[in-house]
Amino acid sequence: MTTSIARSAHTTSLHNGEIVEESDLGSMRRVTADNLPILKGLSIKRVLLNPGAMRTPHWHANANELTYCVSGTALVSILDDHSSFSTFIVTAGQMFHANSGSLHHIENIGADVAEFVIAFRSERPEDFGFGATLGAFSDAVLGNTYDLPSSDMAKIRRDTTDRKLAARIGDPDIPAAAYFNDPHRFDIEAQAPGLNYVSGNARFARDQFWPILTDMSMYSLRVAESGMREPHWHPVTAEMGYVHYGDA
């Protein structure tokens, strides 16, 4: 028998969260402290990318990002401090991490919808779009930056509107290096469960297994129908949970 679940100040629906973007290319919904006031130092976003679509290059000025790929196949590119560039492929059950201030993009290179659940280390993360940033500067500034005549830049259509989702033109351009291991990526579902019982199991993405992490971690938890996660607490850590399927 299905019973109704009482909601509290601690819970809300991410699927019905605030709409950030919604089009034929996909959708973005989020839950921040504006929708769930109890949040502090954490927030969450769900991104759906249709085949051939991408989350355009952007960065977060005030939050590290921890992303879990629920379904699909995507190419991720990250430009870190000191011009350190990484590009890699993520599939269902894999994760990636982007530092605050790191320019990054996510591109669906598969035939199915790619779904991502993203945690941010801020209750109100700030997004800055690369395209909108370039649109704020004059032809002369951009021409000098690239050592080109300003007239070359005048041919590029641009403005300060942040296009969060965009369509890819043609087939995906996948560098050979994207198939190699990368420290930003972690295959959490390929890990042996750190906790494994008849009633359920848990896999860990934390710094002892994934050194790139600094102030965030993630547990992939499965609880059997007759099981439970026993009462517990984290003395110096806030916890934010997302139920992918089932009721808890």
Nearest Cα neighbor of 45 from 58, 62, 25, 27 is 27
Q: Which residue type sits at 199?
A: S
Q: In whole angstroms, how large is the CA radius of gyration of the chain?
A: 20
**pLDDT the model gives residue 5:** 55
Q: What residues are paired with 48 via a beta bridge?
A: 27, 115
Element (H, E) at 132: helix 130-135
CA torsion angle 242 18 43 47 (round to 10) = 70
- Checking if the pLDDT of 118 tops 80, the result is yes
Of 158, 181, 178, nearest to 77 by C-alpha is: 178
Helix (H, G, I), strand (E, B) or coil at 14: coil
What is the CATH number that goes with domain 18-128+166-189?
A: 2.60.120.10
35 touches 12 (CB < 8 A): yes
Beta bridge mates, 221? 202
pLDDT tens column, 121-160 = 999 999 999 999 999 999 999 999 999 999 999 999 889 9
Residue 88 DSSP one-character state? E
Query: Residue 6's pLDDT is what?
Result: 56
Domain boundaries, given as residue ranges, for the chain: 18-128+166-189
Within 8 A by CB and 6+ apart from 236, the residues are: none
pLDDT at 37: 97
pLDDT digits (tens, 9 = 90+) for 149-167: 999 999 998 899 999 999 9
Average pLDDT, the chain: 95
Over residues 158-185, mean pLDDT: 96
Model confidence, pTM? 0.94
State how far the Cα of 177 lies from the Cα of 86, in Å rounded to an integer: 9
Three-state SS sequence of 183-233? CCEECHHHCCCCEEECCEEEEEECCCCCCCCCCCCEEEEEECCCCCCCCCC
In whole angstroms, what is the distance from residue 82 CA to residue 176 CA? 22
DSSP 8-state class, residue 229 = P
User: What is the rounded average pLDDT of the residues 49-61?
Assistant: 98
What is the enclosing helix (H) or strand (E) of 130? Answer: helix 130-135
Tens-digit pLDDT profile for residues 15-25: 999 999 999 99
